[in-house]
Every structure is written in structure tokens, then in C-alpha cells.
């Protein structure tokens, strides 16, 4: 069975350094992309989970900035923690189960939620 098309974002970190928090996939799922679902973030999340969200957002900002980007091989679970807040659909209609779905960073909201992800960018 042929795998669905999935853009691989070359140079994007595969995981958060020193952890097992995954940022990218190696290969497409033969059944199709795992649907993105906005996950509720509760105040009692572990600090390490929050650090992973921040590191992932920093990597997104470094790779794409304010420009729309294709979901591609970005990890669905990690994207889902930011979806609907710091990362929003750039397509209308948006298909949360499509590797080719376009997303973008909601910069004002992202800066408010994770200021540390933007340190040193001059913004």
C-alpha cells in the first residue's frame, strides 16, 4: 500500500533536545494523517510539558515565522496542544486530517502564552 503524501520539513528538530518529546514523524501513516484536535491545557500541567510546548513553538517560529506552513510531518499530538490558540488554521475549509493542511502561528497570542519561545528574535 502506498503511503499518503507528507511533506518532510527538513532541518526541523525531530524532538525536544534531551527528551523523548517528539516534534516530527519519520513516515506517513498508511491510514492517513492523525486528525488534529485542540487539546485543553490545564494549569496543573507538568513544567516539562509546558517546556515542550514552548520549544515546539520556538522551532515553528524559527522555521516558518508568521508565514503559513504545511502540517506535513509535524507531530499531531504536539500540534494539538497549540491548535486553536497559538497555532491556527490558514485554510478555509480546514481539514484536520490532511498532511497538506495549512497552519499559521497566531503571533500575538503565541507571544502572550509563550514569551520565552520568542526570546532573541527582536520582536
Instruction: Tell me the pLDDT tens digit for each residue of 89-111.
Output: 999 999 999 999 999 999 999 99
pTM: 0.91
Report yes or no: 22 and 15 within 8 Å, Cβ to Cβ. yes
Backbone Cα Rg of the chain? 14
Q: Are strands 69-70 and 87-89 parallel, antiparallel or unpaired?
A: unpaired
* Residue among 85, 91, 59, 84 at smallest CA distance from 74: 59
Q: pLDDT digits over 17-61, tens only?
A: 888 899 999 888 888 899 999 999 988 889 999 999 999 999 999
Reduced to 3 states (helix: H, G, I; strand: E, B; else coil), residue 110 is helix
Report yes or no: 84 and 38 within 8 Å, Cβ to Cβ. yes
Q: Which pLDDT score, from 0 to 100, does residue 43 have?
A: 86
Amino acid at each position: 500500500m502506498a503511503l499518503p503524501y507528507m511533506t518532510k520539513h527538513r532541518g526541523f528538530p525531530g524532538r525536544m533536545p534531551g527528551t523523548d518529546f517528539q516534534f516530527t514523524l519519520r513516515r506517513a501513516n498508511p491510514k492517513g494523517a492523525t486528525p488534529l484536535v485542540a487539546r485543553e491545557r490545564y494549569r496543573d500541567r507538568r513544567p516539562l510539558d509546558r517546556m515542550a510546548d514552548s520549544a515546539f513553538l520556538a522551532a515553528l517560529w524559527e522555521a516558518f515565522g508568521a508565514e503559513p506552513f504545511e502540517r506535513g510531518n509535524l507531530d499531531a499530538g504536539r500540534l494539538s496542544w497549540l491548535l486553536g490558540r497559538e497555532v491556527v488554521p490558514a485554510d478555509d475549509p480546514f481539514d484536520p486530517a490532511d498532511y497538506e493542511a495549512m497552519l499559521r502561528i497566531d503571533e500575538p497570542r503565541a507571544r502572550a502564552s509563550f514569551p520565552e519561545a520568542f526570546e532573541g528574535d527582536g520582536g
